[in-house]
Amino acid sequence: MLKLEARPAPSALWSYASPVLALLLTVLIGVALFAALGKDPASGLRVFFWEPIRSPYALGELTVKATPLLLIALGLAVCFRSNVWNIGAEGQYVLGAIAASGIALLADKDSSGWIVVPIMLAGVAGGMVWAGITAWLRDRFNANEILVSLMLVYVAVQLLSYMVSGPWKDPHGYNFPQTSTFAVVTRIPRLFTGSRISVGVFLALLGVLASWIFLFRTRAGFSLQVGGLAPAAARYAGFSSRSALWVALLISGATAGLAGALEVAGPIGQLTPYVPAGYGFAAIIVAFVGRLHPVGMVFSALLMSMFYIGGELAQSRLGLPKSLTGVFQGLLLFSLLACDTLVNYRMKWGK
């Protein structure tokens, strides 16, 4: 009988090398998948791992995709390190987009360019309010935050559908469920002409620095992590599990809401039913592949954005289904889980 036995001392080297091994396994399984679908594996790997970085414009698109993934993952890492399992970042992302759109729709061509600031703040507030619902239900009724945050995703999507099909529907949009295009002054400033890279990338990098300082250089961040690793020790030390719950979820909601605001006021330029692109769920993988460390999540966000772009190119150039993006994301996650299991446990035959 094959069983798993805990290792006395897991290898520190393999703990960090595990994501790299998981990526290699994902590539190998991807090669087999392309061959099974009757496609040239070399062409498949090219659209996933070479085309997204082959030109300055491609690198810009890679950065555009990676920015919301990184922002959401930073907030989720705070939650997961605190042992708070926020699975509904997608809903907080959508609420941030809705709240930011509400401010953007009030602007016109004569508005000041500073209106971008309240648009971003509205997105942050929207995400925090949506995450606050989960925190309140967990705090007041001990509801499971996994189920509550996940179910709120579908509520957020339905609210988005109502807004773009009802009160905010563009009267000149040929009956499409979408808002009117936002005024130019509401758009997030772009860094380069001919590229969609915006100042959002600087906000994401600033979030990396702020997250690192908060988690590893402040008492509040230390108390959150102690509460996640050893709740009894945290209570003995006087750390409040209640405040840790609220702080972790509000931070996560704020970063997800900011990501939603950057999307609607940036690359999209209006609110549509296609705002939920799965970033909130993909960011969970980004967080764990990046080892819940702000710097590691920069690289995992770039990797995940390559999967998004590669999936779109595989659909247009190779005739493969768009769902291939989700397949590669799932392969990476399960490969990482398998590698982490073998880092901490060893297989042993026994009766």
Residue 1 has pLDDT above 80, yes or no: no
Q: Tally the domains of the chain.
A: 1
Per-residue pLDDT reduced to its tens digit, 291-338: 999 999 999 999 999 999 999 999 888 888 888 889 999 999 999 999
CA distance 69 to 79: 15
CA distance 146 to 161: 24
Q: Has residue 6 been placed in a domain? A: no
Are 120 and 258 in contact by the 8 Å Cβ rule? The answer is yes
User: What is the pLDDT confidence band of residue 10, given thresholds at 50, 70 and 90?
Assistant: confident
Are 276 and 72 in contact by the 8 Å Cβ rule? The answer is no
Query: What pLDDT sits at residue 218?
Result: 94
Q: Has residue 110 been placed in a domain? A: yes
Query: What pLDDT sits at residue 163?
Result: 97
- For residue 110, CA distances in Å to 188, 255, 261 come to 16, 30, 21
Q: Has residue 30 been placed in a domain? A: no
Q: Has residue 136 been placed in a domain? A: yes
Q: Has residue 12 been placed in a domain? A: no
Are 262 and 72 in contact by the 8 Å Cβ rule? The answer is no
As a whole number, mean pLDDT of residues 129-142 equals 96
Interaxial angle between packed helices 279-289 and 294-317, expressed in degrees from 0 to 180 and rounded to the nearest 10: 130
111-120, 129-138, 146-155, 211-220: which has the minimum mean pLDDT? 111-120
Residue 22 has pLDDT above 80, yes or no: yes
Per-residue pLDDT reduced to its tens digit, 335-351: 999 999 999 998 888 76
Percent of the chain whose predicted confidence (pLDDT) is above 70: 100
Domain with 207, as residue range(s), is 68-293
Per-residue pLDDT reduced to its tens digit, 234-286: 777 888 888 899 999 999 999 999 999 999 999 899 999 999 999 999 999 99
Q: Residue-wise over 79-112: b if at least 16 C-beta within 10 A, else e? A: bbbbbbbbbbbbbbbbbbbbbbbbbbbebeeeee
Q: Has residue 36 been placed in a domain? A: no
What integer best gives the mean pLDDT of the chain?
Answer: 92
Per-residue pLDDT reduced to its tens digit, 150-192: 999 999 999 999 999 999 999 998 899 999 999 999 999 998 8
Residue 214 has pLDDT above 90, yes or no: yes
CA distance 237 to 76: 25
Query: What pLDDT sits at residue 351?
Result: 66
Q: Has residue 192 been placed in a domain? A: yes
Query: What pLDDT sits at residue 118?
Result: 95
Instruction: Tell me which amino acid residue 205 is.
Output: L
Query: What pLDDT sits at residue 3?
Result: 85
Residue 228 has pLDDT above 80, yes or no: no
Q: Has residue 133 been placed in a domain? A: yes
